[in-house]
Structure 1
Amino acid sequence: MNLLPWRQYQQAHCVRFWGLMFTGSLLIVLMLMVSLRVGDIHSRHVLQRELSGIQTVQNRLEARLMREQDVAQPDVDKWFPTQVWPPALLSLAHIIPSQAWLTQLRYQPPSLILTGYATTLPVLSGMNVVLSKIEGFTPGPAGALLQDNQGRWAFTFQLKKRG
């Protein structure tokens, strides 16, 4: 019995099998590389579109803020020109008694809101008369008056801009 043809057949079969395994592995590796590359390109494209959208929104927001500032600035100047601030603040500094001090000064058109403390009740009761002497303002309604645990009187006064 001659086994030579069978060995040739087995050898050819083995070469085909391992050739197909090598070629298949090579194709799979190539497909994975192409897939990763396409995924990377797609991800980069999505990120670029998202960045472009964010930049567009940011530019529109900045433009809107600039428009609002341009629109709001004349309104503030119309209600309260900056030339009124120095004399009003200087007269406020000179008029407030030494037993009273401010903790907050807030401007909400057309009112100036003063918040602070006074050491005694008579000083606090005289604040309304004192505040009527500030240039460019008339006293508005007084806010809450509270006494803290140290005996100081917390006050809030509102001054309206004179017309």
Structure 2
Amino acid sequence: MAQAVNFLPWRAQRQRQCLRLWLTIFSVTLLLIVLLAAVIRMRTLQESRRLGLLQQAGVTLQAGLTQRQARLHARQAERQAQQQRQQRLQATREWQQILTGLADTLPEQAWLSELRYQQGALSLAGYALGFTALSQLETALYALPGLQMGKPGPASRDAQGRWQFNYALVLDVRHAP
């Protein structure tokens, strides 16, 4: 008769090998999952740090731009104020020229008692010793650059025999300061 073969030790050995194989596969799979999770976590942390740094850089850049914009607005305001001062200074110089020209054209026998500027019109009031001085004054006022003769006021004689005059000069739009 044939001898009976005992497969129990072989079967137990085979089960241990199979168990080792599955434990190895499970361990390697678990290790890969843990490593993959760690890599993903590191990438996520790096990305969040990078985004945080970018956000901080954006905030810093925005603050710098805000400061720069404030300085730019201050410079523009300063430049506009400087331009306005220059324009006022130029207007003053032009008025100085006009008034100097007016003073130079006054005849010796005429003088001003009042000089007033309102709403683009220069009003002159004064006295002249004679009618010829008054006529010379009127001719000189017509010839003034930058001013046009407006409606002349009344001319009358006062108690001392001087001629009292009133003239209105309007700024010439082409030469107006």
- Provide TM-score, normalisation by structure 2: 0.46
Q: Return the index of the structure with the highest Cα Rg.
A: 2
